[in-house]
Structure 1
Amino acid sequence: MPLIQAQNISKNYRVGDQEVPALKGISFEIGEGAFAAFVGPSGSGKSTLLNLIGCLDHPSSGTLLVHGTDISTLSRSAAATFRGEHLGFVFQDFNLVPVLSVYENIEYPLLMVRGWSQDKRREQVNKMIAAVGMTEQANKRPDQLSGGQKQRVAVARALVGEPKLVLADEPTANLDHDTAYRVLNLMKAMRNDFGTSFIFSTHDPKIMQEAEQIFTLEDGRLNPQGVAA
C-alpha cells in the first residue's frame, strides 16, 4: 500500500463572498521511503497540499489517505493524535522554542504526545542528538546556534517520535548554499537509517536536484508533465 494516496483532492478558501480554489482535483501516490517534492511558484498550491497531508487542514472534496488512514474525515482531536503518532514537521524558520535548550527542543514532542518514561525519552533524545551531530551543543539555546545547526535540531525534533513521514516546508530557504546541501544530505541519511519518508514543499533547485520524485503544481493543478519517479 502506498504511504500517501490522494484522489481528486480540491481545496477552496472563502474570501469575502467568494470561494477561491487553491487545489483543483489533485490525484497522486507516494510510496514508503520517499524523498519527494512538491514544486511550483508562489500561489501554486504546494503549501496548501502539504498542510492537508499534515492534517493541519481538511480538503473541500476528495479522498486523502496517509498510512492507510483517510485523514480527510478526521475530527480536530483525531487529526492532532494522528499528527503526533505518525508525522514530523520541519519549517523554513526552524520554529525552535527560544527558551529551551537543544535537548529540550528535541524532547518537546515526546512530552506533548507520548506516554514515554523519562529514561526512554532520554535515550531517544540522545540518540537523535548524536544522529544529527549536535551532542556538544545539547545544552545550548537556539540563539547560540548557527542557521544550519538550528535546522539540524529541527530535523532531530521531527524524527524523535519515529514518524513514518516528515513534511518539510521550504526547509533550506534560510540557509546558505553549502549549509543547505549539508542539511539535505543529513535528511537523506536519516531516511536511509530510519526508513522515514520526506516530502518537501519548495522552489529551491537544490532540493529538486536531490528529490527522487517531483510533483509540479501550476495554478492549483498537478502538471502531468512535471511528475518524475
Structure 2
Amino acid sequence: MSLIEAINITKSYRMGEQEVQALKGISFEIGEGAFAAFVGPSGSGKSTLLNLIGCLDHPSSGTLRVHGTDISTLSRSAAATFRGEHLGFVFQDFNLVPVLSAYENIEYPLLMVRGWTEAKRRERVNTMIAAVGMTEQAHKRPDQLSGGQKQRVAVARALVGEPKLVLADEPTANLDHDTAYKVLNLMKTMRDNFGTSFIFSTHDPKIMHEAEQTFTLEDGRLSQGAVA
C-alpha cells in the first residue's frame, strides 16, 4: 500500500509581478515503512515538496494523497487536524521550547492535539524517552543538552503521537559527522521498532547514503526516480 502518492504536482508562488514555479509536475509513490530522501541543491524544490506532504501548504495543481487522504483539498483546520493525527516533524535547528525540560518538550504535542489522560501521556512520554536513550536527561532544559541530545529529544517528540510518517528537514545540518550518523541510526531503529516512515529533505551525503529510496530534484522537476 502506498503511504504517499503524488500525481503531477505543481506549486507556483507570486513574487511581485513574477510567478515562480517551484514544482513542475512531480509524480511519485512511497510505500509504508519508508526511509526515503528528497535530495538536490538549494532551490531545487525539495523543501517545498516536504511542506506540501506535511500539510503546511497546498499544491497549485495535481493530487497528493497521504495515508489514503487527498491532502491537496483539505481546509486549513482539516489540514491541522491531519498533521496532529498522522504526522511528526524533525527540524535542523531542533525547534525545542527553551523553557521546557526534555520531558516537557516531548509531552507538548500530546497536550496540543490529544485528549489523553495524564497517566497515558506519562506512559507514552517515558516510553519514547527510553527509546531514544534520554531517560537520565529527562528533566534537563535544551541549553543543558548537546546537539545530538537535542535531536534525540526532537525525534522522540516527533514520534510521541504515534504518527504514520515523520518528515525531517535537514535534520543533520547542525550535527557533527559522528553524531549525525548516530541520529540517523536512531531514526532507522525507530522505524523498525514502531513502523513509522521517515522522509527527509536534504543535501547531506550521509542521509543520501542511509536512505533506502532517493528522489533527486532539479529545478522543480524529478530528475531521477526512486533508487532502492
What CA distance in whole angstroms lies between the structure 2 residues aligned with 1:196 and 1:11?
A: 27
CA distance in 1, matches of 2:99, 2:71: 33
Tell me, what secondary structure is at the counterpart of 1:179? helix
Shift, 1:227, TM fit: 2.8
Secondary structure of the residue that 1:44 maps to in structure 2? coil
Matches within 5 A, 1:69-148: 69-148=69-148
Alpha-carbon distance in structure 2 between the residues aligned to 1:108 and 1:79: 19
Secondary structure, in 3 states, of the residue corresponding to 1:95?
Answer: coil
Q: Which amino acid in 2 is paired with 1:11?
A: K
Query: 1: CA distance between counterparts of 2:123 and 2:82?
Result: 23
| Whole-angstrom distance in 1 between the partners of 2:49 and 2:124 | 31
| Unpaired segments ≥5 residues, structure 2 | none
Q: Supply the AA of the counterpart residue of 2:180.
A: A
Alpha-carbon distance between aligned partners in 1 of 2:138 and 2:175, rounded to the nearest angstrom: 21
* Cα separation, 1, equivalents of 2:60 and 2:106: 34
Task: Provide the C-alpha distance between the structure 2 equivalents of 1:66 and 1:173, rounded to a whole number of angstroms.
Answer: 26
Residues 88-125 of structure 1, C-alpha deviations (whole Å, 9 max, x = no match): 00000000000000000000000000000000000000
**Shift of residue 18, structure 1, vs aligned partner:** 1.4
Report what 1:54 is aligned to.
54
- Once the two structures are superposed, what CA deviation does each residue of 1:1-25 show, in whole Å capped at 9, x if it has no partner? 3000000000000000111000000
Give me the whole-angstrom Cα distance separating, in 1, the residues matched to 2:47 and 2:64: 16
Look up the SS of the partner of 2:105 in the other structure: helix
Q: Tell me the residue number matched to 2:30.
A: 30
1:3 partner SS: strand
Cα distance in 1 for residues equivalent to 2:76 and 2:83: 11
Q: 2:227 matched to 1:228?
A: yes
Aligned residues: 228
Query: Using the alignment, how far apart are the partners of 2:93 and 2:43 within structure 1?
Result: 19
Matches within 5 A, 1:4-43: 4-43=4-43
Matches of 1:227 and 1:85, distance apart in 2: 27
The RMSD of aligned alpha carbons is: 0.5
One-letter identity of the residue aligned with 2:218: E
Distance 1:42 1:4 in 2: 23
Q: TM-score, normalised by structure 2?
A: 0.99
Q: Distance in 2 between matches of 1:14 and 1:169?
A: 24
CA distance in 1, matches of 2:183, 2:100: 22
Paired position in structure 2 for 1:182:
182
1:152 correspondence with 2:152 = yes
Aligned equivalents of 2:121, 2:100: Cα separation in 1:
16
| Paired position in structure 1 for 2:210 | 210
Q: Distance in 2 between matches of 1:212 and 1:20?
A: 31
Once the two structures are TM-superposed, the CA of residue 167 in structure 1 deviates from its matched residue by 0.1
Give the distance between the partners of 1:18 and 1:116, measured in 2 at CA.
Answer: 47
**Gaps (5+ residues) in structure 1?**
none
- Measure the CA separation in 2 of the matches of 1:227 and 1:140: 41
Q: Percent identity?
A: 89
